[in-house]
Amino acid sequence: MKARAAIITVVLIIALASVALAQRGRGGRGGGRGVYSGRPARYATMDDFRGGFQFCRVVFRQGNGDGAGWNVDWPRADINLSIRLSELTRTPVTMDQSNEPDTLLINLKSPELFHCPFLMISEPGGAYLDEEESKNLRAYLLKGGFLWADDYWGEYAWDYWEAMLRQSLPSASYPIVELSRDHQIFRQVLNATDVPQIPGIGYWDGANRTWERRQEAMRIAAINDDRGRVMVLMTYNTDFGDSYERETENPLYFQKFSVPGYAFGINTIIYSLTH
């Protein structure tokens, strides 16, 4: 009963906040380079880190894998998830001059990487990492960093991203494990044990379709460090980013995918900050 009451509370809070977002003109499609709401697409510098939580997104070059660019769902997903984090937890979130979360773009070759306790990469099935980037990513993760890889579909995208990742974390020492629904990341703050497979809004049929390509199950997997801490979270055959970015566009999509998507996303961020 307590878990059910908590989910109902989350639904109400997010629903009310979503109305406010829509009235203020937030929401809508990101996913482009250049300027969005006066925000240039530029790499973070040391001066950009101002004490509170800031969503850090990996910028990557395209490889010969299967995936779109680093900027899919950017910046709206980053901003919206940070807003929900500030509304539903006591986590201090750094705001910019327009009172929106001050999110950051990260170059894996730069020292700014090591100032991000939480890092997200979208469409990793198309990401190319060179030797220096892989070396820095390994150092970052083994020093306590956290990487969430989301929104890649199909076997080729999985195999390609795993090959990139294995340049940092060899399989002999760092196996990929499936996360069962009793793992603490599903209950860190909110109950996300029933989080569904999430399709991009353009693939959803308004009813039962939850996949973007073939009807394949999602995987929520991880690579742990030698103490059992999740270093890399992989949400495969699912698109959490769209559940954040597109929250205001369809009330049914919002209820079915955004609410549990936010519960899982908030849990993930809090886990990364506390482990």
Kindly report, residue by residue over 37-66, the tens digit of the pLDDT.
446 789 999 999 999 999 999 999 999 999
Q: Do 32 and 72 touch, CB atoms closer than 8 A?
A: no
pLDDT at 225: 97
Residue 196 pLDDT: 98
Q: Phi, psi (5° rounding) for residue 112? A: -60, -25
pLDDT at 40: 73
Could you tell me how far CA 177 lies from the centroid of its own chain?
19
Fill in the DSSP letter of residue 51: S
**Beta-bridge partner residues of 107:** 59
The CATH class, in words, for 2-274 is: alpha beta
CA dist., res. 189 & res. 86, Å (int): 13
Which single residue is written with the structure tokens 């999430």? 198
Asked if the bond preceding 92 is cis, omega within 30° of 0, the reply is: no
Beta bridge partners of 56: 104, 119
Q: Global pTM?
A: 0.88
Q: Give the Cα separation of 233 and 222 in Å (integer).
A: 5
| pLDDT tens column, 212-239 | 999 999 999 999 999 999 999 999 999 9
Name the residue ranges covered by the structural domains of the chain: 2-274
| pLDDT tens for the chain, residues 1 to 275 | 444 444 444 544 554 444 333 333 333 333 333 334 446 789 999 999 999 999 999 999 999 999 999 999 999 999 999 999 999 999 999 999 999 999 999 999 999 999 999 999 999 999 999 999 999 999 999 999 999 999 999 999 999 999 999 999 999 999 999 999 999 999 999 999 999 999 999 999 999 999 999 999 999 999 999 999 999 999 999 999 999 999 999 999 999 999 999 999 999 999 999 99
Token pair recorded at residue 179: 């996360």
Burial of 123 (C-beta count, 10 Å sphere; 0-12/13-18/19+): buried
Determine the 3-state secondary structure of 149 from DSSP.
strand
Angle at 100 between CA 80 and CA 25, to 5 degrees: 70
The conformation of residue 46, written as its DSSP 8-state character, comes to G
pLDDT reported for residue 16: 40
Runs of H (alpha helix) within the chain: 2-23, 76-88, 131-142, 155-165, 240-245, 251-253, 259-274
